[in-house]
């Protein structure tokens, strides 16, 4: 399953984290609103409010948007570097989800929010992405065919305890192949991201290579379980 608007409106994520007693600081509504106000104060002059998506926001945006375009940002790259002990994992076997780390470039989708919906839609988005402060929202330049726009994007908070940098590709693949939580498996999260990008003619070779390794790990595990059942 995936997150829904109802989940965010009912503060389901906050409740899941609180129940697990993970020791993570859950941002209050006042703190989320202060973060939103701060990013909007930095809004480039005469720019609309766009959101740049690079992971689950592509295939499950939830947001009410009035326009969308595919584009590319520079200075940031997609990376499975954020541990998740709920949602796509458990405290005993935390999963991994995507964040943006510095360096390189990233192709994704930008969504434009209608002016009259900016306040409620951003609060909903902040409840999803900023629930425990694992990201840093910032403005980036998105380059699309024939144009460029300024958009808000969520980059990794390098000081957050769930940030797990410099993981090997093998460690990432093993985690994605084995981790699962209340919102589904990490392998499904990876597949959905690949399919979501493909719908916009975006191919991420790194994600495809990762998916291949995850498939191989699952195949070996299934063969092992089959052998044990026949023994």
**pLDDT attached to residue 16:** 85
**pLDDT attached to residue 18:** 86
Of residues 34 and 7, more confidence is placed in 34
Q: Could you give the residue numbers annotated as active site?
A: 129
Average pLDDT over residues 8-24: 85
For 20-60, write each residue's pLDDT tens digit: 778 889 999 999 999 999 999 999 887 899 999 999 999 99
Kindly indicate the confidence band of residue 229, based on its pLDDT and cuts at 50, 70 and 90. low
Using CA atoms, how far apart are residues 190 and 169, in angstroms rounded to an integer?
A: 14
């Amino acid at each position: 399953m995936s997150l829904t608007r109802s989940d965010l409106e009912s503060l389901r994520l906050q409740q899941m984290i609180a129940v697990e007693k993970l020791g993570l600081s859950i941002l209050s509504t006042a703190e989320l609103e202060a973060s939103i106000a701060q990013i909007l104060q930095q809004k480039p002059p005469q720019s609309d409010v766009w959101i740049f998506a690079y992971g689950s926001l592509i295939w499950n945006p939830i947001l009410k948007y009035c326009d969308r375009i595919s584009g590319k940002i520079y200075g940031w790259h997609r990376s499975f570097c954020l541990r998740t002990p709920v949602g796509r994992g458990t405290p005993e076997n935390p999963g991994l989800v995507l964040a943006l780390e510095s360096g390189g470039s990233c192709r994704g989708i930008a969504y434009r929010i209608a002016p009259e919906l900016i306040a409620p839609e951003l609060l909903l988005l902040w409840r999803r992405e900023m629930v425990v402060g694992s990201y840093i929202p910032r403005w980036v330049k998105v380059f699309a065919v024939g144009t460029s726009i300024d958009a808000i994007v969520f980059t990794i908070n390098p000081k957050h305890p769930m940030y797990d940098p410099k993981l090997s590709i093998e460690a990432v693949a093993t985690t994605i192949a084995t981790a699962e939580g209340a919102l589904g498996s990490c392998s499904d999260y990876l597949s959905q991201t690949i399919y979501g990008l493909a719908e916009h003619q975006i191919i991420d070779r790194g994600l495809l290579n990762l998916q291949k390794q995850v498939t191989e790990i699952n195949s070996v595990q299934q063969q092992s379980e089959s052998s044990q059942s026949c023994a």
